[in-house]
Amino acid sequence: EAKRLGRGQVVAYSPALSSEYEKRVMLEKDLQAALDNDELELRYQPIVDPRSGRTICCEALLRWQHPTLGEIPPSVFVPIAEGTGMISRIGSWVLVSACAEAMHWSPDIKVAVNLSPLQFKQGHDIVDIVTDALLRSGLAARRLELEITETVLIDDTEQTLAILEELREIGIGISLDDFGTGFASLAYLNDFPFSKVKIDRKFTQNLEQSTRTAAILKGIAQTTKDLQIELVAEGVEKTVQLDYMRSLGINAIQGYLFSRPLRATRLRRVIAKPIIPSWSLERSGRTVT
């Protein structure tokens, strides 16, 4: 049986007895203390222009270093934080931390922060929270991009639109994340003031097997080009995927091919120079010096 040993400490789970429910309840309790105990950390993943190897933007991605369970991915604990309402506090911390970290980068590199739909549902408070993060860090609004998913757009359309427009007026970029999953429709691009669309990695990884996926992507590339919305390809792991993206004129690439999400200190060094994988140098006939 899993028992708590007082604050923040958890006995190793007994696999036979710990149900999914028990695990969740325990993680819920532990997450309460995680922020105060410095167990939450942001990693940063570069988004690269493959023509130059230069980093355009870095996405902040949450990690939880659990004292006994090790690293817990955001796909597990973000839903828990949303369920308990803790996502507001965590989300504000993410905003301030990411903006402050970006102050250590070249000023032409932006920072992208994921927003939970729930943070958005707090109404206009989100505008204050974002403005506060910019003021406290000193980061220019044009260097911040907020990533939201289509779930934000489904209800309260008018309030959502008003908030997005307010954020755009401040100079902040708004990205539609995970495009190509769920019900994401090109109509959203007409109805909401997005500056960027991010193609989901499942979509990228489907390209090779599915000519339909490739055809849809071609359409998205043309539409975003016509609307002057930037397009980012996520989850690019292979050169064939990169080549296809580039053939469509997509020149903002995020994926393991260029870099995994990195710790802040390591990232600062990596983005200070072009990220050019060795295969690219070989292919272009250049040599590593």
Separation CA 67–CA 31 (nearest Å): 11
39 sits near ligand C2E (criterion: CB under 6 A):
no
Q: Least distance (Å) from Mg ion to the CB of residue 68?
A: 27
Separation CA 196–CA 103 (nearest Å): 22
Separation CA 273–CA 69 (nearest Å): 36
256 sits near ligand C2E (criterion: CB under 6 A):
yes
Nearer to ligand C2E, 72 or 189 (CB): 72
Residue 196 interface partner, choices ligand C2E, Mg ion, none, CB cut-off 5-8 Å depending on type = none
**Which residue of 47, 99, 255, 267 would you call a contact of ligand C2E, by CB under 6 A?**
255
243: enclosing H helix or E strand: helix 239-247
**Which residue of 14, 25, 74, 282 would you call a contact of ligand C2E, by CB under 6 A?**
74
Q: Cβ of 218: how many Cβ atoms within 10 Å?
A: 13
**Which residue of 26, 27, 58, 78 would you call a contact of ligand C2E, by CB under 6 A?**
78
Whether 189 contacts 228, CB under 8 Å: no
Q: Least distance (Å) from ligand C2E to the CB of residue 102?
A: 14
- Nearest by Cα to 265 from 44, 70, 19: 44
Whether 223 contacts 186, CB under 8 Å: yes
34 sits near ligand C2E (criterion: CB under 6 A):
no
180 sits near ligand C2E (criterion: CB under 6 A):
no
**Which residue of 27, 47, 94, 252 would you call a contact of ligand C2E, by CB under 6 A?**
94
Using DSSP bridges, classify how beta strands 40-49 and 54-66 pair: parallel, antiparallel or unpaired. antiparallel
Residue 61 interface partner, choices ligand C2E, Mg ion, none, CB cut-off 5-8 Å depending on type = ligand C2E
**Which residue of 131, 237, 238, 264 would you call a contact of ligand C2E, by CB under 6 A?**
237
201 sits near ligand C2E (criterion: CB under 6 A):
yes
Write down how long the chain is.
Answer: 289
145 sits near ligand C2E (criterion: CB under 6 A):
no
Q: What is the dihedral of CA 98, 100, 102, 104, to 10 degrees?
A: -140
Separation CA 99–CA 130 (nearest Å): 10
Q: How many residues bind ligand C2E (CB under 6 A)?
A: 24
**Which residue of 19, 20, 70, 75 would you call a contact of ligand C2E, by CB under 6 A?**
75
Q: Cβ of 33: how many Cβ atoms within 10 Å?
A: 13
**Which residue of 26, 58, 61, 99 would you call a contact of ligand C2E, by CB under 6 A?**
61
Alpha-carbon radius of gyration of the chain:
20
177 sits near ligand C2E (criterion: CB under 6 A):
yes
By CB under 6 A, name the binding residues for ligand C2E: 45, 60-62, 73-75, 78, 94, 114-116, 147, 177-178, 201, 234-237, 254-256, 261
